[in-house]
Structure 1
Amino acid sequence: MPDFRRKRLGHDVPFWIDPTQEAFFITINSAPRGRNQLAKPEIWEVLCESVEFREQREEWKWCLFLAMPDHLHGIISFPAGFALRASVAAWKRWLARNHDIRWQDGFFDHRLRSPESASQKANYSLENPIRAGLAAERDDWPYVRDRRR
């Protein structure tokens, strides 16, 4: 009988890629899906403060950060010496311990290979609340930080 279990994909950047010159599109899901843990003013404030804190420590840089009720989207880059998997895992662990946010294991990431790809992923993220029926227009959704503007 075939094994249809979901396989884990690695988040390690290939050795030939300079991570300081790359941006990644990431999606992080909360658990269980369908329950609003993230699109709340008090949680959004915590998420933003924690992102800013880690940015001040130069662990990462978020170009776009958007919270949906049960997942996050973002475009993120990392300076030398910081790893995608370890940084995101540590952040999720801190949020779980200190703010009772429950996460699914792992996360999805996609290395953005061009400015056009980054723009497409940003537009996809910004349209997400509209597709979900949570906002009529992009500017109506309060749980977004877009540094491209």
Structure 2
Amino acid sequence: MVTDNHSWQPGSAYFFSAHLRDHHSRLLVEQAQVLRLAFRVAQQARPFRVNAIVVLPDHLHGVWTLPAGDEDGHRRWLQIQAVFDRQLPGQPPRAMVRRDRCARPLWHSDFREHRLVDAEDVQRHIAYVHQNPVKHGLVREAAEWPYSSIHRRNGTEGSPC
């Protein structure tokens, strides 16, 4: 994990990025329902608010906020990975996935996160998240990408989480 030397702060918003090891994979969009389930499971176990998220074929970006009094953002991400990995069709039973729970074979170990400093920083990162499919040439307009929380802001369906 790469961090900006800030620990998770309770009640703070964070930008995060996670990538699959296979950068040619389309797994995240092909299995968007499984990813949605993984986020819901993690939110039920340890509540947090997803301010913004975009799921691209091989990576995702998001902004989330932890509740006051809670600093355990990293554990949430590990749980999301674990649930996603276990729920994929054709995956081995839980006990056989890996003995090293920190190492996930699908995910690049370079999970990035950093705390956002103020409301302007949060809005700038939300805009970055929503524009990411345009940046990667997947769509011309951010609202065209179906795997984005931009649809929540527009009042339409399609949010991945």
Which position in structure 1 is the counterpart of 2:77?
Answer: 88
Letter in 2 for 1:83: D
Q: TM-score under structure 2 normalisation?
A: 0.73
- Alignment partner of 2:28 out of 10, 33, 38: 38
Segments of 5+ residues of structure 2 without an aligned counterpart are 92-104, 155-161
Which position in structure 2 is the counterpart of 1:98?
Answer: 87
Do residues 74 (structure 1) and 62 (structure 2) align? yes
Change (3 A) 1:120 1:11: closer
Which position in structure 2 is the counterpart of 1:5?
Answer: none
Question: What percentage of aligned pairs have identical amino acids?
Answer: 23
Task: Report the RMSD for the aligned CA atoms in angstroms.
Answer: 2.4
Cα distance between partner residues in 2 of 1:58 and 1:93: 14
Give the CA deviation at 1:30: 0.8
Cα distance between partner residues in 2 of 1:10 and 1:138: 27
Letter in 2 for 1:97: R
Cα distance between partner residues in 2 of 1:25 and 1:49: 21
Q: TM-score under structure 1 normalisation?
A: 0.78
Cα distance between partner residues in 2 of 1:68 and 1:117: 22
Cα distance between partner residues in 2 of 1:83 and 1:58: 9
Give the CA deviation at 1:115: 0.9
